[in-house]
């Protein structure tokens, strides 16, 4: 790795942040893995340990690292979380935040429906049916009902086996559910929509399933 050179545009700590990211990628350091000790890293980066610590803290704030007192710095298991939270919060701040959350949720779920059916992924239909029944039987608990609903919709995304996409979808499914709540006066209709959605997925009817999903979300 080349020594860090001075640059007017960036502070030294920002340059170290950039170099640390390069180091992580070049050395194939995976989530959960520990970075070398500060002394070794500061020598590699050719900077003081104070500057290195500042860069490490920046990466921790970005969700890339997890610094454990007395143990060292580890690659975060889910470095997308801060970015996803920021995206979701920005949507909520917008005057049309509620609808935008639903639209983003729809786009994510609809693209998952297309991909899962086109690729012939195994959709856990028995689990979808179970979650729909759990949703219906949890009418007295909004939190349990919301959780069952979130898990039902997420179960269609998970067969893609793409952890980043699943994390993104889960965030917006949860945020949209929290912002709209559950209209218990339409419980029977929602249960029936879930049942029809599952049936359409089972039959491989992507267009119809997406149209029903849009109706289900009130778009």
The yes-or-no verdict on residue 5 having pLDDT over 70 is no
Can you identify the CATH homologous superfamily of domain 81-216?
A: GntR ligand-binding domain-like (1.20.120.530)
Q: CATH 1.20.120.530 occupies which residues in the chain?
A: 81-216
- Condensed to tens digits (0 to 9), the pLDDT of residues 86-123 reads 766 766 666 565 788 889 899 999 999 999 999 999 99
Taking the C-alpha atoms of residue 143 and residue 166, their distance in angstroms, rounded to an integer, is: 21
Tell me the C-alpha to C-alpha distance, in Å, between residue 48 and each of 3, 102, 121: 13, 48, 51
Here the tokens at position 33 are 């893995």
- Condensed to tens digits (0 to 9), the pLDDT of residues 11-35 reads 788 889 999 999 999 999 988 899 9
pLDDT bucket at 40, cuts 50 / 70 / 90: very high
The residue to which tokens 């289900």 are assigned: 216
Report the pLDDT value the prediction gives residue 118, as an integer from 0 to 100.
96
Strand partners, 3: none
Q: CATH 1.10.10.10 occupies which residues in the chain?
A: 12-75
- Cα of first residue to Cα of last residue in the chain, in angstroms, is 52
- Condensed to tens digits (0 to 9), the pLDDT of residues 141-160 reads 888 999 999 999 999 999 99
Taking the C-alpha atoms of residue 61 and residue 65, their distance in angstroms, rounded to an integer, is: 8
The yes-or-no verdict on residue 183 having pLDDT over 70 is no
Q: Which CATH architecture has domain 12-75?
A: Orthogonal Bundle (1.10)
What pTM did the predictor assign?
0.67
């Amino acid at each position: 790795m080349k020594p860090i050179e001075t640059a007017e545009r960036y502070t030294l700590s920002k340059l170290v942040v950039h170099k640390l990211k390069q180091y992580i990628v070049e050395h194939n350091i995976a989530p959960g893995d520990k970075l070398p000790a500060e002394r070794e890293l500061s020598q590699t980066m050719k900077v003081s340990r104070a500057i290195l610590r500042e860069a490490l803290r920046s990466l921790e704030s970005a969700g890339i690292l997890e610094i454990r007192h007395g143990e060292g710095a580890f690659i975060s298991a889910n470095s997308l979380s801060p970015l996803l939270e920021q995206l979701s919060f920005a949507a909520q701040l917008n005057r049309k935040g509620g609808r935008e959350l639903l639209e983003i949720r729809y786009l994510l779920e609809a693209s998952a429906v297309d991909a899962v059916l086109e690729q012939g992924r195994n959709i856990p239909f028995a689990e979808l049916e179970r979650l729909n029944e759990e949703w219906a039987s949890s009418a007295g608990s909004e939190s349990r009902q919301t959780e069952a609903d979130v898990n039902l919709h997420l179960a269609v995304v998970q067969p893609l086996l793409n952890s980043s996409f699943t994390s993104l979808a889960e965030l917006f499914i949860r945020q949209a559910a929290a912002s709209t709540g559950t209209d218990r006066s339409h419980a029977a209709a929602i249960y029936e929509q879930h049942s029809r959605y599952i049936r359409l997925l089972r039959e491989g009817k992507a267009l119809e399933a997406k149209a029903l999903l849009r109706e289900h979300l009130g778009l």
